[in-house]
Amino acid sequence: MVTDIAALVEEQLRERPDVTACLTTGRTPTATTYAQMAESVDHTALVLERAGLRPGTRTVILVPPGDELVTLVLAVFRIRAVPVVVDPGLAPAAVRACLREAAPEAFIGVPRAQAARLLLGWARRETRVAVTVGPRRFWLGHTLAGLRAATPPRAGDWTLPTPDRLAVIAYTSGSTGPPKGVPLRYRHLAAQFELMAPLEVWRPGTPVMSTFPPFTLACAAFGATAVIPDMDPRHPARADPAALVRDLRRHRVAGLFAAPALLDKIARYCDARGVTLDSVTEVLTAGAPLPLAVAERLRRNLTGEARLLSVYGATECMPVAAIEARELAETGAATARGDGTCLGAPLPGVLVRVIGVGDQPVHRWSDELMVPPGTLGEITVASPAVSDPYLHQPAATRRARIVDGERIVHRMGDLGRFDERGRLWFAGRASERVRTADGELYTDQVEPVLAAVPGVHRTALVGVGPPGAQIPVLCVEPEGKPSPRERRRIADDISALAAERRPVPGLRVLFARRFPVDARHNSKIRRAELAVWAAGRLPTGRGRA
């Protein structure tokens, strides 16, 4: 088992030194070959070691996507220091909370990130090594350029890590609660690669565009050319679809990775202009279930041979299951009836079981926890990719983990079921189910049904009031800016469709200009925030988000 991602990159160097490893797009595209990257990683590891990084040093890296970011992350891995990955799109207070918990000793960042570290208190007390990528302003510490100029490049003597060595601390997006630190060891990363390998997402020598920076490292490790788009990683939802489509076509990109919401923007842009992404043969999406409408819209702009794959998983155990868009289309009628979204069959090596829904911790596994086949319950996962317990959050760990002999079972917090063909179906988050006096409602069994109404962009079901007596509210994000008359038409059509296909007693409909969403994916709606907004508008049924 290969446990070192930098070693995987070196393997690509030996096999294809002249192949481009990273291609940064924009006004002045830059290309870095595998030979250049390997040399830069060696040199950067030496200078960071000189600055004070050691094996185990927790290190924050806040640098825009590009070859420099890839080099820095691989260099930190080479030293056996531990990158701390925090979504830059999180609110400053959330970033501060994550970094306070992780207590990083080293902080590598652009001037803006260094200023935020000092002014907003991001790990200010814990940091003993500060390296600025760019000019240093009013703070102390090193600059990466200065360290490189003072340290002659040479080949380092680096040893392979043991499988149990801590590799990275990755924070969840916090879309359904506060972000949680997920410690991943080298064996967890190796397991992720091995579980993903049969999907054949990465093909050596082919250009692959990723809108999610960690995926770029996987491209480099498997010999693909990572095409890095010119977009703000803090706000991927604001990415310009015209620029993305231009770069996909200009660089003849074969693989594309993006969240469903961003794929939807690309598909709508192509639809409006009659553009076909003829070079794209593989599209991978994750972070949220792929809506059938998005899949169908994107497939119209791909060639018939192209594959669109939706992967299900979580930071704590990625990947779990996968489904191709053609199979998703076969299940579309069931989704429209309110059966939820099909996630596909669990991947080989992943054990998925469904247990009864409950909010309390379960300490020991028992087969009696499982519900009968076809019954809705909470999805659990056991695989070699299941991470360590959450960092300094024992209560969250107790809620999410079950001991099953020598293995650990992770509770996904998602509701689902198996069908007669062994495929997994998603019904929504357990914490977001709406508990009314007439029973429980599940978001993904209601929203896809009612989102089919013309004029609706997307919907979100929330509950207002105490559990067991909640009022179900369907929040609607419309297409464009409908008039009051058009809004009434949409609300009436929703009520009629709900009565026909998915009766929801006491359903209220509210229009929101924009849903609060997870910054990274834009597909994960922050329903807890939306429920608070809805509660303030129920008396009149008016208001805007």
Per-residue pLDDT of 98-129, as tens digits, reads: 998 999 999 999 998 888 888 888 877 778 89
Q: Give the mean model confidence (pLDDT) for residues 35-46.
A: 91
User: CA-CA distance, 24 to 233, in Å (whole number)?
Assistant: 14
Tell me the CB-side half-sphere exposure of residue 97, using CA atoms within 13 A.
Answer: 16
- What's residue 3's pLDDT? 58
The domain ranges of the chain are: 33-185, 340-432, 433-535
Q: pLDDT for 121-177, tens place per residue? A: 887 777 889 999 998 876 678 999 999 999 988 776 677 788 899 999 999 876 667
Query: pTM for this structure?
Result: 0.92
- What's residue 6's pLDDT? 63
Q: Give the mean model confidence (pLDDT) for residues 494-504.
A: 90
E strand or H helix that includes residue 29: none
- What's residue 540's pLDDT? 45
- What's residue 57's pLDDT? 96
Q: How far apart are the first and last CA of the chain?
A: 50
> Which pLDDT band holds residue 2 (cuts at 50, 70, 90)?
low
> Which pLDDT band holds residue 519 (cuts at 50, 70, 90)?
low
Write down the CATH number for the domain with range 340-432: 2.30.38.10
Residue 520 scores a pLDDT above 50: yes
User: What is the secondary structure of 121-155 as a DSSP string?
Assistant: TSSTTT--EEEESS---SS-SEEHHHHHHHS----
Residue 455 scores a pLDDT above 80: yes
Of 1-5, 465-469, 512-516, 529-533, which range is least confident? 1-5
Mean pLDDT, all residues of the chain = 90
Write down the CATH number for the domain with range 33-185: 3.40.50.980
Q: pLDDT for 256-303, tens place per residue? A: 999 898 999 999 999 999 999 999 999 999 988 899 999 999 999 999
- Burial (CB < 10 A; 0-12, 13-18, 19+), residue 91, is exposed
Q: pLDDT for 339-377, tens place per residue? A: 999 999 999 999 999 999 998 999 999 999 999 999 999
Instruction: Give the whole-number percent of the chain exceeding pLDDT 90.
Output: 66
Residue 144 near residue 108, CB atoms below 8 Å: yes
> Which pLDDT band holds residue 539 (cuts at 50, 70, 90)?
low
CATH topology of domain 433-535: GMP Synthetase; Chain A, domain 3 (3.30.300)
- What's residue 471's pLDDT? 96
Candidates 229, 284, 278, 281; CA nearest to 254 is: 281
Q: Which of 11-15, 17-21, 507-511 has the highest mean pLDDT?
A: 507-511
33-185 and 433-535 in the same fold: no
Helix, strand and coil in the chain, % to nearest 5: 35, 25, 40
- What's residue 76's pLDDT? 94
Q: pLDDT for 219-266, tens place per residue? A: 877 888 999 998 877 777 788 999 999 999 999 999 999 989 899 999
- What's residue 405's pLDDT? 94
